[in-house]
Structure 1
């Protein structure tokens, strides 16, 4: 059954109805290449690219580490050891700081030596994955531990705190823990050797006017001196329940990206069908409307308007679903507005690619939004733990910008410095580029007379 709203209208002389062909005529040698070989080649290339991009970024994140930011805070004020004329000032915190700076591989970890206020600001803005904090009484406690090895009494081991930033994702927390534990274990060993030698040296000195053997360090005390530092691991601003250990931001961003890309395809196809450029099938019903006389610029502008309406509705749907699933959302208005902006940016970009390149625009959108977008998003594996070419892609890939904005809204109080500012700026830039490119190219097509018409194509 065929429905044609323009069945009674005369066919314009410049349009020629394309003749039908038999199956035998279609399956010639040249058409075999077009029907079977071309899709096979395209799919092979896409799947190969997909496999490389997705497997490369998850295969060995720690081997790909580069510039992984961690803060280092030294609050130690030092201590005075000895008595009378034999006193000396020691600063074990400074020694530990230098040992960490020298010991951490600079090509992998960006260790930022900062004050406590700046460290907390970096953690709150999502600029560092964790912080190593040396307390103000570190040297004092080490001195007490050394004296306590030969003098009875209650003592406490000096503490170094390893703070993690769970709002940057579970994978980032795991890497921070591993880096911190490895670096601090080596520092603990070095401090233990130094402290043991210092205590042994002090005990070997016999005070004037005394006789008899010098006091010795017991075996239990030597064990305590060998590993003197107590490493405490804490979370900085733990995430509330309902956040999926920091994954809800990634999946919310993914939903926006997919809705923008798929929405562009649906708007493109349904609008073209309504304007008569392509047919539509509903089961056994085949509908092909009469062609509307509209320019390419006008067609694209109409699709952009439809995409704005769609974005307003879809953003509201996602917000309602998140609320029904009890996701903690402290700034629902910010989430709705940013979601709408991202949907428009992704949708307009997708529609522009389809208007400029036609059917190949589908493949371009898939590569841009899915194949290159997800691995470079930084939502599951930190971008600093992915191959460097993904770090470069993250500078402009839509998925990373959307993720930064959503993460800021959900986990960092909608702080502009935590990624929302960049997300908004890049979304507006994406809309501007899509508008300029789309209008420029479609206007060029119109000026050249490249109208969308049913032309006779001769198959050889």
Structure 2
């Protein structure tokens, strides 16, 4: 008699409910995390660091020393007293340049050395005789290396503050001119009403092949994805080699003889492979981005070492999750290394513009730490206090925690007798393996 046909798998409620729940969780989490971190950066903005630099040397007016640069800076600080969106930091030019070169401020407003003299000159008799009056300037410095959106926010705030300061000075100049009985032409009145010219300049220039300050983020994301996907591939390859999984190559199914291996040893094999192959992946990533695509980069040796280390840490961490949780470990890896990591990285939207939940995630999420270290290498001459030291320390801690967690859990499973194949199933597995080995040559011939 012919054997009865099995019922359709599509009629199984368990299949529908299980698959539906998994996909519902994935779609909801990714939507909430990805969009939730970036949906309202201006509304969430708190204490974005911006530098105020007063280089004004002042001038004499009516026999008294005057420094209008101090007036501009104090006016901006006063107006921002109740606005916590920006953290205006009064710095020297040297300190501002240093912080721009470390990504610690997103921009700067600079008052030049001759600002007071230039403003006073607008109402002086000598100035009136000139055909084209020389207007004072206020310089707004941007810093794309710290993040394009953060730099744009800082630039807009600086320009708004500079124009407001210019308008305030204009009121004082017009009042002074009127009190002196000066007869001003309409053109002179317009110029005095808004005397300062706002100039925008790049505070920390980057090369043309730096993705406008995003190359560090994209490179770091590639390292994280390589580590995560590499761990999934190695985990599958190790299980196939040990006979726990079969491998399909088109119509051909191959299954290796089953080797009863402890969970600890299985994880150890995967970890060694991950550490060794991280060298290959890190080398290829640097070759592809710098050698083939021409990405702007210096410190190539350090970049290579950092790439290998980042891939290894992420890969070993993902292997620990897979060893501890099995198939759900793949979903956990995607959530930890991608869904929660990208919006909390501070690479596109600055950390100061993220909701509190994502700001908290950024303290330990690997992509944020790896991105900061990459910025230091690519943009800030590999300065230790520009994020590189924090990145190395964070990766070291993550590697240690992953190793302890992964091997600790698998050792617990082994000691409790939680083998991957229970003893009752060993006979069936042996028969299935033998049949698969016998049918493999026939399938290959077919």
TM-score (normalizing by structure 2): 0.89
C-alpha displacement of 1:22 = 6.2
Aligned twin of 2:251: 284
Q: What is the rounded CA distance, in whole Å, between the counterparts of 1:287 and 1:47 in structure 2? A: 34
Alignment partner of 2:337 out of 369, 378, 394: 369
Residue from 39, 61, 78 that aligns with 1:59: 39
Contact 1:354 1:360 in 2 (8 A): yes
Would you say the 8 A contact 1:377–1:400 is kept in 2?
yes
User: Residue 72 of structure 2 is aligned with which of 86, 96, 118?
Assistant: 96
Describe the shift of the 1:357–1:117 C-alpha distance in structure 2 as closer, same or farther (beyond 3 A).
same
Question: How big is the shift at 1:62?
Answer: 2.1
1:113 is matched with which residue? Answer: 90
Unaligned runs of 5+ in 1: 1-19, 205-214
Deviation track 1:147-198 (CA, whole Å, cap 9, x = no partner) reads 2598323642121111111222332332222111112121111111122112
**Aligned equivalents of 1:182 and 1:101: distance in 2?**
13
**Do the aligned partners of residues 112 and 455 (structure 1) sit closer, same or farther apart at CA in structure 2, a change above 3 Å counting?**
farther
What is residue 11 of structure 1 aligned with on the other side? none
Q: What SS does structure 2 have at the residue aligned with 1:241?
A: coil
Q: Classify the secondary structure of the residue corresponding to 2:200.
A: strand
Give 1:297's aligned residue.
Answer: 264
The structure 2 residue matched to 1:36, chosen from 5, 16, 21, is 16
- Give the structure 2 partner of residue 167 of structure 1: 145
Tell me, yes or no, if structure 1 residue 247 matches structure 2 residue 224: no
Question: Of 238, 258, 261, which residue of structure 1 is paired with 2:225?
Answer: 258
More helix by share: 2
Match of 1:77 in 2: 57
The one of 302, 314, 327 equivalent to 1:334 is: 302
Whether 1:410 aligns to 2:378 is yes
The partner residue of 2:108 within 131, 135, 150 is 131
- Cα-to-partner distance string for 1:6-65 (whole Å, 9 max, x where unaligned): xxxxxxxxxxxxxx996328667xx422x1111111211211121122223333322221
The residue that corresponds to 2:363 in the other structure is: 395
Q: How does 1:415-426 map to 2 (within 5 A)?
A: 415-426=383-394
Query: Structure 1 residues 350 and 387, CA, compared in 2 at 3 Å: closer, same or farther?
Result: same
Structure 1 SS opposite 2:122: helix
- 8 Å CA contact 2:122–2:128 kept in 1: the answer is no
- Whether 1:152 and 2:119 are equivalent positions in the alignment is no
Q: Which of 436, 441, 444 lines up with 2:404 in the alignment?
A: 436
Per the normalisation by structure 1, the TM-score is 0.87
1:24 matched to 2:7: yes
Structure 2 CA distance for aligned equivalents of residues 116 and 36 of structure 1: 64
**Given that residues 168 and 246 in structure 1 are in contact (C-alpha distance below 8 angstroms), is that contact kept between their aligned partners in structure 2?**
yes
- Checking the alignment, whether the CA contact within 8 Å between 2:127 and 2:133 is kept in structure 1 is no
**3-state SS of paired residue (2:128):** coil
Instruction: Give how far 1:456 is off.
Output: 6.5
Of 412, 420, 423, 1:452 maps to 420
CA contact (8 A) 2:58 2:114 kept: yes
Aligned length: 420
Residue 449 of structure 1 aligns to a residue whose secondary structure is: coil
Shift of 1:348: 0.6
Tell me whether 1:306 sits opposite 2:273 in the alignment.
Answer: yes
1:383 Cα deviation from its structure 2 partner: 2.3
Pick the aligned partner of 2:169 from 157, 181, 191. 191
Range 129-138 or range 330-339, more displaced: 129-138
Q: How does 1:173-184 map to 2 (within 5 A)?
A: 173-184=151-162
Distance in 2 of aligned mates of 1:146 and 1:89: 17
Give 1:413 shift. 1.2
Asked if 1 retains the 8 angstrom alpha-carbon contact of 2:121 and 2:127, the reply is: no
Q: What's the Cα RMSD here?
A: 2.1
